[in-house]
Structure 1
Amino acid sequence: MKKLMLLASLLLASVVAQGDDANKRIAEITDAKAKGLAVAKEMKARNTGWGDSEAKMTMILRDKGGNETDRKVRVKSLEVEGDGDKGLSIFDEPRDVEGTAFLTYSHIEGNDDQWLYLPALKRVKRISSSNKSGPWMGSEFAYEDLSSFEVEKYDYKFLREDEIEGEKVYVVESYPTYDNSGYSKTVTWVDQAHFRVHRIEFFDEKGDALKTMDVSEFKQYLDKFWRGHKQVMTNHQTGKSTVVKWSDYEFNTGLDENDFNKSSLKRAR
């Protein structure tokens, strides 16, 4: 028991030391663009190496009047060496969307590849790059929000240090460099302890405030990787919102490239 407690203490000390080192490096950078990039790189580094995962998601759609619609989704994810992640979302409930499957190939550079299988039509629809800003399955999340975060697809500007829910955070502006984004910029709140995203503010093509996503209920997996189990996306222009609740995370389940083949979307289960 003492050995286990010592091992846990050493692991915690190592994590704290890594955070202190990263914050020290960032504090020494004076250029706003370079500092913002340094924060983004540390965010990515802290979430690299998880391999593959599966999870369940409940998505609650709320209209302006407060009426709600629930959707049950299973999500599979795969890290890809040298490129962006792959993701597969399979809708189980309600009946009108049951069997719908959404596949994303994120890329480090350029536009991502996305496909949507619609069981009622028995066909796979490719999401064009010009439609990535459209709403995903009636939610306040856009198709481009479903892609993995890739450092190379943005320019950055460090804004300030701040606090959110008692956590010290870095606040960084990001500007999409890929084509057909529905955003002129985003502002991300990243905690200094673990470099987790707590909030993202989205601005439309005119530069007006569009949406805010708040992330909470963090849990750590594999003694390294953090996942926010609740996400609330609020659309300030329409009054609608979407609440996402995550559960049943599993890592290293044996998923591979064959589980993310667009030709097998119709058979996704």
Structure 2
Amino acid sequence: MTIKNNFIAPIIYALCLCTAPLSNGQEQSTATSKPEAKGLSIAKEMKARDRGWVDNSAEMEMVLHSGKRESRREMRVLSLEVIDDGDKSMTIFDSPNDVKGTAFLSFTHPNAMDDQWLYLPALKRVKRIASKNKSGPFMGSEFAYEDLNSFEVEQYDYRWLRDETLDGQDCFVVESIPRDEYSGYSKQISWIDKTHYRALKIDFYDRKDTLLKTLTLSDYQLHLDKFWRPTKQSMLNHKNQRRTEVYLRNYQFGTGLDESDFTENSLKRAR
């Protein structure tokens, strides 16, 4: 499961915010001086910093909070980096027993509709998630199906809004407008730290442009001296006050996964 930053997460290209002098001594503003171009440049830099991990796996605990009630789910997530396309991921539920064996497969595409399937062991069949339904909740959580795809720069239009400090960290604040007509969001506002280009907080606005949810990503750890991964993600739904927390541990990189591990047949065999 790769939640944007995703369980996920996100990140390409060097960001240049300087200006270049003209021969007549006047300064020429670069494209990044425009909010839209600067926002796009920040998104590209995020993606650039997360290239080359090839494949990984992690253990995941999902905690659903609804009032005083709390339920827990243990899962595993497998991810594959795909050159010239979006990433692939598979999430496998290990407990509790009522969801054990359920598996979710997701293919992200930069310039096309994403593909998603859900295997339901009780029915022994694979259900394809229609594009029109991906704004629905994933397995009763506050995450939507569309939140589980990898971050792809081409799926949004961007605008840098301002610089701001969040929890003591200097951040870019960037607006992202989904290009997908079936997205459940009108926009997302992200706080991205200037040092490592990690998403620290994302506000999700519904189709009526009202704040719907806030995702907070924290406790980042560095892997292979290059790749930052959050070990905690918390999604708060402002409409119903429910919260879903995700804890990730035991990240493994270069595990030998390949395309054959991410098919509908492998989805049925997931254990």
Whether the TM-score (by the shorter chain) exceeds 0.5 is: yes
Which amino acid in structure 1 is aligned with residue 262 of structure 2? F
> What does the per-residue CA deviation read over 1:41-86, in whole Å, with 9 as the maximum and x for residues that have no partner?
00000111100000000000011x1310000000000000000000
**In the alignment, is the contact (CA less than 8 A) between 2:186 and 2:206 conserved in 1?**
yes
Match of 2:180 in 1: 178
Which amino acid in structure 2 is aligned with residue 119 of structure 1? P
Q: Distance in 1 between matches of 2:205 and 2:171?
A: 20
**In the alignment, is the contact (CA less than 8 A) between 1:111 and 1:179 conserved in 2?**
no
**In the alignment, is the contact (CA less than 8 A) between 2:17 and 2:33 conserved in 1?**
no
* TM-score, L = length of structure 1: 0.90
Where 1:99 maps in the other structure, the secondary structure is coil
C-alpha displacement at 1:178, in angstroms?
Answer: 1.5
* TM-score, L = length of structure 2: 0.89
Which structure 2 residues correspond to residues 1-269 of structure 1 after superposition, within 5 A? 22=15, 24-25=17-18, 29-63=32-66, 65-269=67-271
Where 1:184 maps in the other structure, the secondary structure is strand
User: What are structure 2's unaligned runs of at least 5 residues?
Assistant: 1-12, 20-28
Considering fraction of residues, name the structure with more helix: 1
| Matched pairs, number | 249
**In the alignment, is the contact (CA less than 8 A) between 1:109 and 1:178 conserved in 2?**
no
**In the alignment, is the contact (CA less than 8 A) between 2:104 and 2:118 conserved in 1?**
yes
Where 1:77 maps in the other structure, the secondary structure is strand
Give me the CA root mean square deviation. Answer: 1.5
**In the alignment, is the contact (CA less than 8 A) between 1:32 and 1:159 conserved in 2?**
yes
Where 2:68 maps in the other structure, the secondary structure is coil
Q: Distance in 2 between matches of 1:32 and 1:200?
A: 18
User: What are structure 1's unaligned runs of at least 5 residues?
Assistant: 1-18
